[in-house]
Amino acid sequence: MRLLVVEDDPDLNRQLVTALTEAGYAVDTAFDGEEGHFLGDTEPYDAVILDLGLPQMDGISVLEKWRRDERNMPVLILTARDRWSDKVAGMDAGADDYVAKPFHMEEILARVRALLRRSAGHAKNEIEVGSLRLDTRTSRVTVDGTPIKLTSHEYRLLSYLMHHQGRVVSRTELVEHLYDQDFDRDSNTIEVFVGRLRKKLPSELIETVRGLGYCLGSASDET
């Protein structure tokens, strides 16, 4: 999953990026509203953490422009403002959730997990496909109850496929959602990670749909 953090405070920005990266996400970052708007308008993020009090362009304006341009990724707004009207304005502008500063990082992580689950149509923290289970709270992957050890890139790939189970996901989409902006992207590496996952999981779980991409679970409705 690929996230965007738009926060002008350097220390808080760094803390958010560190926590989210350690939680298994690919993270891009921006320090003002104009840069944040540009990235959100041109890159395919799974969710955005957006501060309201930004230089160059405030968070409400950024969010309103995204929504007018039909950029529909989930957005969690951060605000240091206590007035309920500011929170209402953020939600009415198109935010999906908000957190008031100061906050505990665990709350941010929990709210991001919830946004990603809901946007993919999952209600529970645990996502299951056959004998395969992913606990999004702990990043724990098991097969028939047995823990499976994955690298960070293997986990990102599997998590994305499980969040979008039953749908064919192209290599291009995987590259766009698994790596941050600065990563040297190569779609051929996706095949390598899929091969590694098949050695650690029941091989039939990840289906190759020729000419289209990969699917975890049944792709019969699409092929």
One digit per residue, pLDDT tens: the chain, 223 residues?
999 999 999 999 999 999 999 999 999 999 999 999 999 999 999 999 999 999 999 999 999 999 999 999 999 999 886 677 888 889 999 999 999 988 999 999 999 999 999 988 888 889 999 899 999 999 999 999 999 999 988 999 999 999 999 999 999 999 999 887 766 666 678 889 999 999 999 878 999 998 899 999 765 444 3
Torsion of the alpha carbons at 32, 34, 36 and 38, rounded to the nearest 10:
-160
Query: Does residue 134 sit in helix, strand or coil?
Result: strand
pTM of the model: 0.85
Predicted confidence at residue 220, as pLDDT, reads 45
Which domains does the chain possess? 2-119 (3.40.50.2300), 126-216 (1.10.10.10)
Task: Give per-residue burial for 74-109: e unless 16+ CB within 10 Å, then b.
Answer: bbbbbbeeeeeebbebbeebbbbbbbeeeeeeeebb
CA distance 121 to 180: 24
Quote the pLDDT of residue 186: 66
